[in-house]
Amino acid sequence: MNMLSGSEIVLEVLKSRGVKTVFGLPGGAIMPLYDELYDETSIRHILVRHEQGAAHAADGYARVTGEAGVAIATSGPGATNLLTGISTAYADSSPVIAITGQVPVQYIGKDAFQEADLYSLVIPITKHNFLVKDVNDLARIVNMAFDIALSGRPGPVHIDLPKDVQTKKATRKIVFKQFYTGKTPILSLRRIKQAANIIMKAERPVILAGGGVIISNAAEEIRLLAEMLPAPVATTLMGKGAISEYHPLSLGMIGMHGTKPANYAIMESDCLIAVGCRFDDRATGDEKTFAPKAKIIHIDIDASEIDKNIKSHLSIIGDAKEVLKSLIYYMQTAGLKKENTQWMSRIRQLNKDYPLPEPEETHPIKPPLIIKKMNSILKEDDIVVTEVGQCEMWTALYYKPRKPRTAVFSGGQGTMGFGLPASIGAKAAKPDSTVIDIAGDGSFLMMCHELATSVENNIPVIAAIINNRYLGMVRQWQELFYEKRYSYTFLGEKTNFVKLAEAFGAKGIKVTRCSEIKEAFITAIKSGETTVIDFEVDRECNVFPMVRPGGQIDKMIG
């Protein structure tokens, strides 16, 4: 019988799992796998320029599809370059499969060339990880990696693959089956009923939708629940897209840079239905004063999130979609009849009294105006990815997604440099969608070399740089909390982003006037080319509203 080599096994399993695209960069210890990839026609390999880019691209791919994203790197520095990306995926529960070469088994632990102890390094930042020592275990391990990454609360899985294991032939036939079914929680109907009874009695219910809603594809259930109660829906950063922000019940994001209606509604609520969120400190502000009047019902698939940050009155462990379905079904059969006119008129009042600050068409450009103008151009399947900092928060406040998986942020880790490679991953997965990376000039430079990946692989994304020549969010904090002592946040003025784009073979557009914003986006979209738009903006524009770190979320500045 013709037995498969380790490399062939990896590719066979990837194909059997429906993987069409992988991101990576070869090196010594992963060469056998790359040799196999050379003839592989059904997997598209996208060559990045730095391994961190591969991890973020795989992450972006995973977030917009809900499927596993695959990143490949060599041993040692290639593998350690993935770590920031793996950590980013872990913090935001994204199913990334990272495969790295390792020195041959007999050299492990002997400080061989390009050897690093990846097994230990990734333990705290993966859902699980493997070191493959026997090629006969490989098929089981790669299959398990997919099952683990995608089941329950998703997360990254790392496979460390010694070079000799890649070349060795298996002596056993490979089996394709599911090896790991996840630790599926059993849904407590008693708790569903208890929750339903609390919700049905509530006079001021608010739904808080987190990233778990997106992951479990429960946006439709969120809308149903919101409309039947009726209850307004606030989201966390990761939950953006869980409800169309054009829906009348949408409040926008909560938290430090949340909208006023969202934060006020949470503070006034007598019943907070929190779905698939982990009550991050940036979302809750001071946890002692968070939602003081509300009975909090916390729905999450991960039991360790319950009472971790915010004590709930009732928790339901389970998949968001399943729990919401049961909840809705129970309330419908229990004959829920609610008008809730008082609360609804209060919500309408909040939305009317506290709209987002309207950016004026002044010179220099106010950054929120860029996002507002972008909204008017984008179609519902178009995707916005961001870098981290002010650019991210302006997007969180002003970008209005209509669908899940069209807003991609590095939430938990806040990884600068995430946006460009993640948008490449997103575009590779959804070539028919326009993908825009809303960047700051600081974040953008961290991964700007990935422009080459975008151009050379013909994955045209648009990088819209909100160029204020500062590490803007840090500068904003220095202005507000450090007496305007701008310690090392000014980046200088010489970097020419148009030339930078052109040097990589991308298109560069410079925008200085409000009247040019829309046209720049349209030109970039129409060109079908990788485009960098350099928006020269008001350098000291702050993101408002804002809650002081650790402050009460209804005490907002701006």
Partner 1 sequence: MPKYIFSLIVDDEPGVMQRVVSIFSRRAVNISRISVGPSEISERTARIILSFEAEPRKAKFMRNLLSRLISVKKITQLKSDDAVIRELVIIKLKNHHENILEQIKQLTRDSNVALVNYVKGYAIEISGPSVEIDHILNHIDQKYVTEIVRSGIIALKK
Active site residues: 51, 113-114, 163, 473
- Measure the N-to-C terminal CA separation of the chain; round to a whole number of Å: 72
Cβ distance 84 to 55 under 8 Å? Answer: yes
Using CB under 8 A as the binding rule, whether residue 308 contacts partner 1 is answered as yes
Kindly report the backbone phi and psi dihedral angles of residue 16, in degrees, each rounded to the nearest multiple of 5, phi listed first.
Answer: -65, -20
Shortest Å, Cβ 210 to partner 1: 18
**Among residues 228, 303, 336, 377, which is the contact residue for partner 1, using CB under 8 A?**
303
- Determine if 105 is a binding residue for partner 1 (CB under 8 A): no
Does the footprint of partner 1 cover residue 179 (CB under 8 A)? no
Confirm or reject binding of residue 306 to partner 1 (CB under 8 A). yes
C-beta of 215 vs 509, nearer to partner 1:
215
Catalogue the long-range contacts made by 332-340 (C-beta closer than 8 Å, 24 or more residues apart): 332/228, 334/196, 334/200, 336/200, 336/228, 336/229, 338/200, 338/228, 338/229, 338/230, 340/203, 340/205, 340/229, 340/230, 340/231
Instruction: Check residue 148 for interaction with partner 1 (CB under 8 A).
Output: yes
Q: Kindly indicate which of the ranges 90-98, 124-132, 289-297, 337-345 contains the residues binding partner 1, using the contact rule CB under 8 A.
A: 124-132
CB of 148 to partner 1, least distance (A): 6
- In terms of Cβ atoms closer than 10 Å to its own Cβ (0-12, 13-18, 19+), residue 159 is buried
Taking alpha carbons only, the member of 21, 14, 77 closest to residue 47 is 21
If phi over 0 gives left and psi between -120 and 50 gives alpha, with beta otherwise, what is residue 211? alpha
Closest approach of partner 1 to the CB of residue 242, in Å: 24
The Cα–Cα gap between 369 and 511 comes to 13
For residue 62, give the nearest of 51, 54, 70 by alpha carbon. 70
| Nearest distance, CB of residue 164 and partner 1, angstroms | 18
Q: How far is the CB of 500 from partner 1 (least distance, A)?
A: 39
Shortest spacing between CB 135 and partner 1, in angstroms: 17
State the Cα angle at 23 between 439 and 448, rounded to 5°.
Answer: 30
Find the binder of partner 1 among 15, 77, 120, 481 (CB under 8 A): 120
- Can you point out the beta strands (E) in 248-387? 250-253, 271-275, 295-300, 314-317, 383-386
Q: Are 368 and 345 in contact (CB under 8 A)?
A: no
Query: Which residue spans within 85-236 are E strands per DSSP?
Result: 96-102, 128-131, 157-162, 205-209, 233-235
Pull the structure tokens for residue 273.
């239905």
| Site for partner 1 contains 346 (CB under 8 A) | no
Member of 304, 333, 376, 487 binding partner 1 (CB under 8 A): 304
Query: Is residue 313 within the footprint of partner 1 (CB under 8 A)?
Result: no
Q: Which of 20, 128, 247, 539 binds partner 1 (CB under 8 A)?
A: 128
Question: How far out from the chain centre does Cα 200 lie?
Answer: 33
For residues 472 and 466, give the distance between their C-alpha atoms in angstroms, rounded to a whole number.
10
Q: Of the listed pieces 15-23, 81-89, 123-131, 473-481, which binds partner 1 according to CB under 8 A?
A: 123-131
Cβ at position 131, least distance to partner 1 in Å: 8
Site for partner 1 contains 200 (CB under 8 A):
no
Nearer to partner 1, 120 or 178 (CB): 120
Which contiguous run of DSSP H or E holds residue 148? helix 135-150
307 in contact with partner 1 (CB under 8 A): yes
437 φ, ψ (degrees, to nearest 5): -100, 110
Residues 6+ apart with CB under 8 A from 482: none
Find the shortest distance in angstroms from Cβ 68 to partner 1.
Answer: 16
Task: Give least dist CB 153 to partner 1, A.
Answer: 8
Exactly one of 183, 348, 363, 555 binds partner 1 (CB under 8 A); that residue is 183
> Site for partner 1 (CB under 8 A): which residue of 124, 175, 177, 358?
124
Q: How many residues sit in the footprint of partner 1 (CB under 8 A)?
A: 17
Within positions 65 to 104, which residues make up the interface with partner 1, using CB under 8 A?
none
38 alpha carbon, distance to own chain's centre: 31
Closest CB to partner 1 among residues 117, 270? 117
Q: Two tokens at 183?
A: 């630790």
| Residue 287 touching partner 1 (CB under 8 A) | no
Residue span binding partner 1 (CB under 8 A) among the ranges 28-36, 119-127, 353-361, 445-453: 119-127
Using the contact rule CB under 8 A, the part of the chain among 60-68, 301-309, 409-417, 482-490 near partner 1 is 301-309
Applying CB under 8 A, among 180, 354, 477, 544 the residue interacting with partner 1 is: 180
Q: Which residues bind partner 1 (CB under 8 A)?
A: 119-120, 123-124, 127-128, 131, 148, 153, 180, 183, 302-304, 306-308
